[in-house]
Amino acid sequence: MLDVSILRQNPRLIEDTLKKRGNTSIDLNKLIELDEQIRKIKSEIDSLLHTRKVISKEIGSIKAKKGDSKELEAKVKSISLEIENLEESLSKKNEQFLSMWLLVPNLVDDSVALGKDESENVEIRRVGEPKLFEFEVKAHDEIAKDLDILDFDRAAKVSGSRFVYYKNQGAKLERALINFMLDLHTKNGYSEIIVPYIVNEDSMIGTGQFPKFKEEAYNVEGQFLIPTAEVPLVNFHKDELLSESLLPIKYVAYSACFRKEAGSYGKDVRGIIRQHQFNKVELVQFTRPQDSFDALESLTNQAELVLKELGLPYRVVMLCSGDLGFASAKTYDLEVWFPSQNRYREISSCSNTLDFQARRAKIKVKGSKGNYYPHTLNGSGVAVGRCFAAILENFQTKDGNVKIPEKLVSYYGGEFLV
């Protein structure tokens, strides 16, 4: 969440951010009004506490002299009741304020292009040339069916739509990709963590998934299946005071991810591009505030390394203000080439959330000049299923086989899917 001092000292900054994002659901004036009411009630409580303390001291003096203090005692009782009523009112106002404040998105960095939606995202660079095929290319789900490596029909019987069984060479390739990605990132300074797949509501609030996206999460008796390993990785340091000497902290985790995809009806109904359960390797960093934008470039380059090593053509896109994620101040998407669709598709999203998540998760750093909130960054390194699909399409051969990328051969244990 944002520093509340911004609301008090520079509400125009929040107003500008909401306009840039196209967000019309936040009542900023109501937030300002509630904050003023809260501060007024706190001031009244403090004043009454002081008065009660003075009177109580006076009562003590009177009693020591065997005097009559009944009138003052009645006054103390009346003040205590008033304080109790004010505290009840304060609690309700705080709850109302927080429920609204948690829905305010992060500030948009000045370097982010203004735009309404993904059509106005800005391409930064392209890496690798899409291959020109001398035969009619197949989509990844067709290739998978021919090779008998994915089973959608049985998954539908067992779990419903948007689920899949990986089998035979497909299961082997998925495992090879996960191990390849983890090794690549750990060799470059990321510490590997195996995370829980179920988290509590506070953790989802900490990373910004809740309350805004609560209806999109799978609820398991009041706890929630993770939509990304970002949630348990960032909350690994929830409620902690970290030593500045530890920064930057870099974590990598493979996990299954679970999303209802409620708003995606009719989108990507074929194949494994959009599933309710999918595998992903996630990168997370904790940095000093002054280092976070350099860290975003570094994290993005690290995610790109997966695609470079595998020889997959891709591009880097900076998201415009209207397409920016709720918790992010700046985001780069990596989009990999899908020849069957003749376009690039998202395979990674790399974001700088500034201190937005650290404030929500109550993560602080002990610095030489006092405690402060670190900046957190996250990025896919990368979505495994989409990488799997991109390999099938970009490395398909005329005879119906799939060539394994050179850097993946030792992990897979062969040169072709046949």
CATH number at residue 193: 3.30.930.10
User: Residue 106 domain-assigned?
Assistant: no
Residues 96 and 191 in one domain: no
Residues 56 and 143 in one domain: no
What is the spatial order of strands in the sheet that 375-383 belongs to?
Answer: 122-127, 314-318, 330-338, 343-352, 375-383, 277-287, 249-258, 191-192
Check the annotation: does 174 bind a ligand: no
| 334 strand-pairing partners | 316, 348
Tokens of 365: 């750093």
**Cα distances (Å, whole numbers) of residue 384 to 168, 240, 351:** 17, 31, 19
pLDDT confidence of residue 255: 99
Amino acid 317: pLDDT: 99
Domain-located, residue 110: no
Same domain, 42 and 182: no
Q: Is 55 inside any structural domain?
A: yes
Q: Which of 296, 316, 318 is nearest to 308 (CA)?
A: 316
Residue 218 confidence (pLDDT) = 98
Q: Considering the entire predicted model, what is its pTM?
A: 0.94
- Per the DSSP assignment, residues forming a β-bridge with 169 are none
State the pLDDT at residue 266: 65
Whether residue 348 is annotated as binding a ligand: the answer is yes
Q: Where in the sequence numbering do the catalytic residues fall?
A: 259, 274, 346, 349, 386
Residue 262 marked in a binding site: no
Residue 111 covered by a domain:
no
Instruction: Confirm whether 162 is domain-assigned.
Output: yes
User: Are 8 and 120 in a shared domain?
Assistant: no
Q: State whether 189 and 70 are in the same domain.
A: no
pLDDT given for residue 265 in this prediction: 60
Does 43 appear as a known binding residue?
A: no
Q: Do 72 and 160 fall within a single domain?
A: no
Number of domains in the chain: 2
What is the structure's pLDDT at 66?
Answer: 84
- The residue range of the domain holding 174 is 116-415
User: For residue 164, is it within any domain?
Assistant: yes
> What integer pLDDT is reported at residue 413 of this predicted model?
97
Q: Is 190 exposed, middle or buried (0-12, 13-18, 19+ CB in 10 A)?
A: buried
Is 378 annotated for ligand binding? yes
371 is an annotated ligand-binding site residue: no
Report pLDDT for 268. Answer: 79
* 321 marked as part of a ligand binding site: no
Question: Among 44, 76, 100, where does a domain finish?
Answer: 100
Task: Tell whether residue 346 is among the known ligand binding residues.
Answer: yes
- pLDDT, tens digit, 9 for 90 and up, residues 250-266: 999 999 999 998 666 66
Q: Last residue of some domain: 75, 100, 125?
A: 100
Task: Profile the chain (418 residues) by mean pLDDT over runs of 10 residues.
Answer: 97 98 97 98 98 95 88 95 98 98 98 98 98 97 98 98 97 99 99 99 98 96 98 99 98 98 71 97 99 99 99 99 98 99 98 99 97 99 98 98 98 97
Final residue belonging to a domain, choices 74, 100, 126: 100
Question: Strands 122-127 and 219-220, how do they pair?
Answer: unpaired
Q: What is the pLDDT of residues 295-305, one digit of tens each?
A: 999 999 999 99
86 and 128 in a common domain: no
Q: Are residues 327 and 380 in the same domain?
A: yes
228 assigned to a ligand binding site: yes
Q: Let me know whether 66 and 147 are in one domain.
A: no
pLDDT at residue 92, rounded to an integer: 98
If asked whether residues 216 and 67 sit together in one domain, one would say no
The answer to whether residue 108 is domain-embedded is: no
Can you give the length of the chain in residues? 418
Q: Is 52 annotated to bind ligand?
A: no
**d(Cα 277, Cα 267) in Å, to the nearest integer?**
16
d(CA 388, CA 147): 14
Residues 93 and 143 placed together within one structural domain of the fold: no
**Full DSSP string of 9-49:** H-HHHHHHHHHHHT-----HHHHHHHHHHHHHHHHHHHHHH
85 marked ligand binding residue: no
Has residue 146 been placed in a domain? yes
Identify whether residues 203 and 62 lie together within a single domain: no
Phi, psi of 269 (to 5 degrees): -75, -20
Domain harbouring 15, CATH code: 1.10.287.40
